[in-house]
Amino acid sequence: MLMKSRLGPASPDHWSEPVREILDGLQPAADSATGKGPPNILYTIAHHPALLPSFLGFTATLATRGVLERRDSELLALRTSLNCRSAFEWGHHVEYGLAAGLEPKELGAIANGPEDPSWSPRDRSLLRACDELHAHQQISDQTYDALSAELSPAQIVELTFVIGNYTMLSMVANATGVPLEERLPAMPAKGSPRDSR
C-alpha cells in the first residue's frame, strides 16, 4: 500500500473557474477548526478540470437519488475499499457508514467478510457481490439469486455502479497517493480477499 502522496493537490492558482466554484462551494463555512472540508481526493481530481464536474454529478446521483438504502451503499463502499486496500476510501466511509446506520461492531465484521456469522442473509449477499465482482468482475448465479430475492432490478444495477465507483476511486487514491485526512480512522490490517493471496 502506497504511503506517500505522488500527485499532491491541484494548486488553486491552476484551477479553472468552474473547478474553483465547485471546490469553494463544497467548503463548509467556518468549519476550519474541525478540519472538515472537501475530501482530499477532489483536489487530486481537480488536476483534470473537465472530469471533476461530471464525476461529482455521477456520484451525487448515486448518493442523493440512489434506490439502495444508504446503509447498503455504505456497506458496499466499505467492503470495496477494503478489497482494494484503499485507506483513503475506508477512512471516509467509516464516518458515512456510521451515519447511515452501520453499527461499530459491524465495521469489524466487514473485515471478516460475508462469512461472519453476524450478517443477515441480505448483508451477506451484498458482501459476496463485492467480493465476487472484485475477484472476477462477475456475480455468481447463487449470489445473484440471493440478491434478486432482496433487491429490485434497479437496486441490482445500482449495486454494480456503487461497487464500480468505489473500485475506481480506490484506484485513483491508491495510484496517486491521496492522503487520508488525519481525523479519519485507519483501515484494518487484514480482512480482504487480497490478504490471503
Residue after which a domain boundary falls, among 62, 77, 94? 62
Residue 197, in any domain of the structure: no
Integer Cα distance of 187 and 44 in angstroms: 21
The candidate with the shortest Cα–Cα distance to 193, out of 84, 63, 106, 48, is 84
Number of domain units in the chain: 2
Q: How many CA atoms lie within 13 A of 153 on its CB side?
A: 0
The candidate with the shortest Cα–Cα distance to 43, out of 29, 24, 23, is 23
57 and 82 part of one domain: no
Mean pLDDT by 10 residues, the chain (197 residues): 72 83 70 63 90 91 94 98 96 94 95 96 98 98 98 98 98 93 84 48
Integer Cα distance of 124 and 128 in angstroms: 6
The candidate with the shortest Cα–Cα distance to 192, out of 135, 142, 140, 137, is 135
pTM of the entire structure?
A: 0.87
Q: Range of 146's domain?
A: 68-192
